[in-house]
Homo-oligomer: A and B are copies of this chain.
Amino acid sequence: MKGIYLVTDEKASLGRPVLSVVSEAVRAGVSCVQLREKNKGTNEFLKEAAALKQLLEPLRIPLIINDRIDIALAVEADGVHIGQSDMPYKTARRLMGIDTIIGLSVETWEDVERAEELDVDYLGVSPIFPTPTKTDTQSPWGIDGLRSIRAFSRHPLVAIGGLGESNLRDVVEAGADVIAVVSAICSAPDPFDASRRLVEMFETVYSREEKRS
């Protein structure tokens, strides 16, 4: 698991439909898409998820649903992302089955330690930097926090929170396998261009890191 991971945010998308932002982002090489909907009713959420599934499946780009396992099961999404106030991991795994991706957000060191015993597919290290798009989180991990988690944890790390071109290099060098972004793509004047630059930058930095290790 590596690359740029787009997390959708309809409100941050400057009035553009989520589907069109995702479509531009994947055309530019984004590796994974998480549909996050906190305000929609079940049926609207389901329709959006079904539309993304139709777009992403032929491209073999995983579709991850935030929180809602019912939506993930209904559209046969590739996985779910759960936070510490969502379904507990073991219940999520039982409902989703063993062949799906389950990512878990870690916001405290206790979360990181507990996750070590779980067969999660990745840890969402959240947030790395302060961010306006998610306000219900603990204090930011920062680059040093990410580095500590990298040294401790056996799981792939998806870094999220305030990430973009200006700090991608530092975050990859600190040990992130995946850079998750919201505003850097959703709120970009041109989501295709923004995605393209992030993907290219990631590939350059990550391959250099791989050679080093």
Report A's interface with B, CB cutoff 8 A: 41-44, 46, 67-70, 73-74, 84-88, 91, 95
Contacts and interface: CB of A to CB of B under 8 A. Distances in A.
A19 B148 CA distance: 42
Given A46-B91, A91-B46, A41 B74 contact: no
Contact of A85 (B42, B70, B74, B85): B42
Nearest to A46: B87
Given A68-B70, A70-B70, A42 B95 contact: no
Contacts of A95: 70, 73-74
Report copies per complex: 2
Nearest to A38: B41
26 contacts: A41-B85, A41-B86, A42-B67, A42-B68, A42-B85, A42-B87, A43-B84, A43-B85, A43-B86, A43-B87, A43-B88, A44-B85, A46-B87, A46-B88, A46-B91, A68-B70, A69-B70, A69-B73, A69-B74, A70-B70, A70-B73, A70-B87, A73-B95, A74-B87, A74-B91, A74-B95
A139 B95 CA distance: 38
A160 to B, nearest CB: 19
Complex A-B, nearest 10 residue pairs according to Cβ-Cβ distance, in ascending order: A69-B70, A70-B70, A42-B86, A41-B85, A43-B85, A74-B91, A42-B87, A73-B95, A42-B67, A43-B86
Given A42-B85, A43-B88, A70-B87, 13 more contacts: A41-B85, A42-B86, A42-B87, A43-B84, A43-B86, A43-B87, A46-B87, A46-B91, A69-B74, A70-B70, A73-B95, A74-B87, A74-B91
